[in-house]
Amino acid sequence: MNEKQYLVDALSIDESWRMFRILSEFVDGIETLSGIKHAVSIFGSARTKPDDPYYQKAELLARRLVEKGFGVITGGGGGVMAAGNKGASEAGGQSVGMNIRLPFEQKPNPYANINIDYKYFFIRKVMFVKYAVAYVVLPGGFGTLDELFEALTLIQTKRIKSFPVILMGSEYWKGLFDWIRKTMLRDDKISPEDLGLFQIIDDPDEVVKHIQKYVIV
């Protein structure tokens, strides 16, 4: 066997084992989360500090959700994710942290009482959607926007059943919403009804009330 053929065969074997690792992550995630009912996924920046108003809002929101019978799922890291897990666990509820292994920023927070560790982003995203009855999205960066638009795309294309998608922080999201309305809608890149796929609500109690309109616990 020449060197080139050896390398091709080695790469083929590695790809085959990668498929097994992917299947293993799916199985672990489903087995761990199979008992989760009525959970709300909370997203936001890992860089948000505990003295930030949005950290405090996320913590309060998670507490209110648990008080009404919901569980909470976050990305398992710091910032808004830690706040969500903290509020949920301290209120005595299910507090799921789905951590992603990254070379920077992302480290598991100590507040989740159900932990899963992921290597692959796309598997983690499937689990967020599969086990959530609503999304609440606080100010964040590219990762937060990725989760937001993933959900909106799946709902828009009817690949999943519609559920509440709520943006907290009207001041933060105003520029994005204006661009969606004034550019995307104006240029016929989305339909008018697509603007109804999400709501902007600032008050944690109002967020919970909005979710309760669609989800009975």
Set out the domains of the chain in order of their start, with CATH numbers.
35-212 (3.40.50.450)
The pairs formed by 63-68 with CB atoms below 8 angstroms and a separation of 24 or more are: 63/87, 63/88, 63/90, 63/91, 64/204, 64/205, 64/207, 64/208, 65/40, 65/93, 65/208, 65/211, 66/91, 66/92, 66/93, 66/94, 67/91, 68/208, 68/212, 68/217
Q: Which DSSP string corresponds to 162-176?
A: ---EEE--HHHHHHH
The answer to whether the beta carbons of residues 181 and 81 sit under 8 Å apart is: no
Query: What is the predicted pLDDT for the residue at 172?
Result: 98
3-state helix, strand, coil in the chain (%, to 5): 50, 15, 35
- When pLDDT is cut at 50, 70 and 90, the band that residue 217 belongs to is confident
Asked whether residue 215 carries a pLDDT value surpassing 60, the answer given is yes
Q: Do residues 75 and 99 touch, judged by C-beta distance below 8 A? A: yes
The beta-strand segments (E) located in 13-118 are 39-43, 71-74, 95-100, 114-118
Distances (CA, A) of 12 to 8, 17, 21, 112, 147: 6, 9, 15, 38, 32
What is the model's pLDDT at position 105? Answer: 57
Q: Give yes or no for residue 8 having a pLDDT over 80.
A: no
Q: Quote the mean pLDDT of the chain.
A: 92
* pTM summary value: 0.90
> Is residue 16 pLDDT above 60, yes or no?
yes
pLDDT single digits (tens) 140-194 = 999 999 999 999 999 999 999 999 999 999 999 999 999 999 999 999 999 999 9
